[in-house]
Structure 1
Amino acid sequence: MTTTEMAIDAHAVDAAPAGRRAADQPDRGQRALAITSRYGTLIFLGVLMLLFTVLSEVVLGEQRFLTGANLSLVLRQSAVLAILAGGLTLVLILGEFDLSVAATLTLGGAMFAQFAQGDYVFTWPTIPFTDIGGGAIFGAGWQANVLFAFVAAIGFGLLVGVLNGVIVSYFGVTAFIATLGIAGIVEGYLIRLTDGRSVQLPKNITDTAQGTLLGWKAPDSWSWGPSLFGRTFQIDFSGLSLPLISLAAAVVLALLWLVLNHTEAGRRMDAVGGNPEASRLAGINVKRYRLAAFVICASVGAFAGIVLAAGRTGSAVTLVGNQSSYLLQAFTACFLGAVTLKEGEFHIIGTIVGVALMTVTFSGLIILGVPGYAQTIANGAILVAALTFAGLARKAATRT
């Protein structure tokens, strides 16, 4: 080997590590972006909880955020949104939109309240079960017409889903236009039916729905005072309870997760959302699965309306405009979920995290005395941030 060849080889050896380091830089950046896009929502949720905990102690002089009572309230407040967003997730997975979810929510609550009044022919004997928890479940005054009211309300929601699914899947109308039109029809029907008045629910129903599991509450011993930055923070979990409507939300979300992840129908829905044309060529009935997604979404939305009326407000609001905030909140939760754990994909676990982030944010702002308009601004800002992160996640995925 000549002297010149030896010099060239030595230069190549010296340059190799530098070349590898330069090549590693983009890879590290892409990995960091991928990690941020996957776990950023969870990290942000943890930071928010810590921030509100500290601010509550410093600004208010006492701990009002990280308490058993407030955590129970967060669970109760998140139930309706979690159910509604869970159903919407199915439609979004298939690449469609449903702008009628707020209308379906209102319809479900209104129909349940109307049929549960007890002045219909369905006044069969009382079902003999008593006192499971915070209210008398199936106890005195709980008539079989309440069961009929539940079925009827879900049936009305199912009808809305069928209309949405048929118009979008079989008539080829854009989901944005079709579902917006159906929402208008539902709103007009409710105004004609109730003159825009709220419908009060019987007390025995609200007492039950607003109860807790087995009437359980955390004992007074569930509290301690950790020290941070030389200051003692009193954290009191006494009074923590498990609202029944939160358990109902957990059951619905668990069922949706099982369907999407552990059934053939769920895998086919995911395939249709990923590539409708390839799914059609593979023998999957794309129209049928789109119809099914709209039907499930609307039925779940009607159930969310029942939970809202019976478990939260005690009455059914019949003006869709009064529930319109749930539309934006549901979409925000789903889009937040799309940038959680997966890169730009809608999924139930992500939606749950999105709901938790939004509920914690609103709870913290309320405790700190932030005005209502600022909470609305925060909702919009969170949605914009979610969409931005979703775009970054998709770009990162295409480059890797």
Structure 2
Amino acid sequence: MSASVAAAAPKSRLDVVGLLSRWGTIASLVLLVVFFSLKEDDAFANSRNFINILNQVSILAILAAGLTVCLTMGLFDLSIGSIATLGGYLALRWGAEDKFGLGPYGVLLIVLLAAVVIGVANGVIVSYLGVSAFIATLATASILDGIALGYSDTATVQVGIPFQILDLGQAKFGPIPSPVVIMAVVMLVLWFFLERTQMGRHMYAIGGNPTAARLAGVRIKYYAILALSISAVCAVLGGTVADAIIGAGRPYGVGSVYLLDAFAAAFIGAATLRPGRFHILGTLVGVLLLGVINNGLSIMGAETFWQYIVKGAILIVAVFLSGTVSLRRQGV
């Protein structure tokens, strides 16, 4: 009898940890919404502010969604901030100059194709030159920052930007800002890609066990190139929306402010519903959690440093719980 009880105890503890790891971040999000609603009812708990939160996190969500595709394979893309900065600047500058004579939509297409080229270059360096994704994308980020500053001569583009490009950040569909719509489309497409296509399942297989995936015939090098290309396209789209919101093409500092939060959102998401596994729904929860924290504390008048403290604490707890479940699954 005593042996049975002793054997049951670890299972009970595992269930508690598993429950917290799966639902802890969602519970934290709900509790934060309730807390801020009670503290700042008029300012926080209204549809206008909730839409405002979605608008505030839209660019972060776009970048984090693309990053999540890479993380499913265990690839760290540190170049997304620099890609976003350069891509947004080129979209607005080339749009203002009517570069290539293809009109605003033609310019956007070319900038997105340029993002694919950057992603392919990252993928080739990682897959065929054997450089770790961490180092390769860090180096790419430095190169792209230099290109942006050199090509722009550090000058911001503010005049002659076509309204079609500005609408990416300033238009509305009823009460819904266009960045929120773009965010929803990107996350829905990438969710479907990862969860409902064979390529997405192959990416998860590579991230889970690359050796087994290779033996099963999965082309790991090809998928690394694909993942980094998707991440680059999302980064350019996010950077373009960010510049369109303020109506200016800036050659520096646009994407860098989202880099760490994008990783934080993805890692918080990996501790949501499916601990230890990166997925788009989890990333969305992570993005919303960060957005509610920033918005709620700002409305309360809290000092900015509290936002960093709270976000860091939640990230540590989420990753700890996710790691604990993963280790227990492996019998460690």
Q: Normalised by the size of structure 1, how large is the TM-score?
A: 0.78
Instruction: After TM superposition, give the deviation of residue 208 of structure 1 in Å.
Output: 6.1
State the shift of 1:121 in Å: 5.5
Question: Structure 1 pair 207/274, CA: closer, same or farther in 2 (3 Å)?
Answer: closer
Superposed, 1:1-400 pairs within 5 Å as 16=1, 18-57=2-41, 63-120=42-99, 122=101, 145-200=103-158, 202=161, 204-205=163-164, 206-207=166-167, 209-213=169-173, 216=174, 241-310=175-244, 312-320=245-253, 322-399=254-331
> Take 2:37 and 2:328, find their aligned partners in 1: how far apart are those partners?
34
Q: Contact 1:102–1:323 (CA<8 Å) still a contact in 2?
A: yes
Q: What one-letter code is carried by the residue in structure 2 that aligns with 1:204?
A: F
> Considering only aligned residues, what root-mean-square deviation do their CA atoms show, in Å?
1.8
Between the aligned partners of 1:48 and 1:32, the Cα distance in structure 2 is: 21
**Rg: which structure is higher?**
1
Q: Aligned residue pairs: how many?
A: 330
Amino acid at match of 1:56: E
* Residue aligned with 1:198, SS: coil
Counterparts of 2:131 and 2:99 in 1: how far apart (Å)? 39
Classify 1:118/1:325 alpha carbon distance in 2 versus 1 (closer, same or farther; 3 Å): closer
Where does structure 2 lack aligned partners over 5 or more consecutive residues?
A: none
The one-letter amino acid of 2:250's match is: V
Compute the displacement of 1:243 (Å).
1.6
**Which amino acid letter does the alignment assign opposite residue 273 of structure 1?**
G
Larger helix share, 1 or 2: 2
2 CA distance for matches of 1:384 and 1:197? Answer: 39
Distance across 2 between alignment mates of 1:375 and 1:196: 31
Whole-Å Cα distance in 2 between the matches of residues 112 and 334 of structure 1? 27
Matched residues in 2 for 1:385 and 1:357: separation?
Answer: 14
| C-alpha contact 2:239 2:255 (8 A) present in aligned 1 | no
Q: Report the equivalent of 1:140.
A: none
Return the alpha-carbon distance in structure 2 between the equivalents of residues 300 and 208 of structure 1.
14
Note the residue ranges of structure 1 that are not aligned, 5 or more in a row: 1-15, 58-62, 123-143, 217-240
Q: 1:120 to 1:175 in 2, by over 3 A?
A: closer
Q: Quick one: distance in 2 between partners of 1:285 and 1:207?
A: 39
Cα shift readout 1:76-120 (whole Å, capped 9, x = no counterpart):
111111110010011111011000010111112111111110454
Amino acid at match of 1:145: G
Structure 1 173/33 Cα, relative in aligned 2: closer, same or farther at 3 Å? same
CA distance in 2, matches of 1:289, 1:246: 29
1: CA distance, partners of 2:147 / 2:78? 17
Say which SS state the counterpart of residue 251 (structure 1) adopts. helix
Residue identity (%): 37
2:106, 2:144 → 1: CA distance?
21
Distance 1:305 1:336 in 2: 23
- Secondary structure, in 3 states, of the residue corresponding to 2:20? helix
Q: CA deviation at 1:379?
A: 3.5
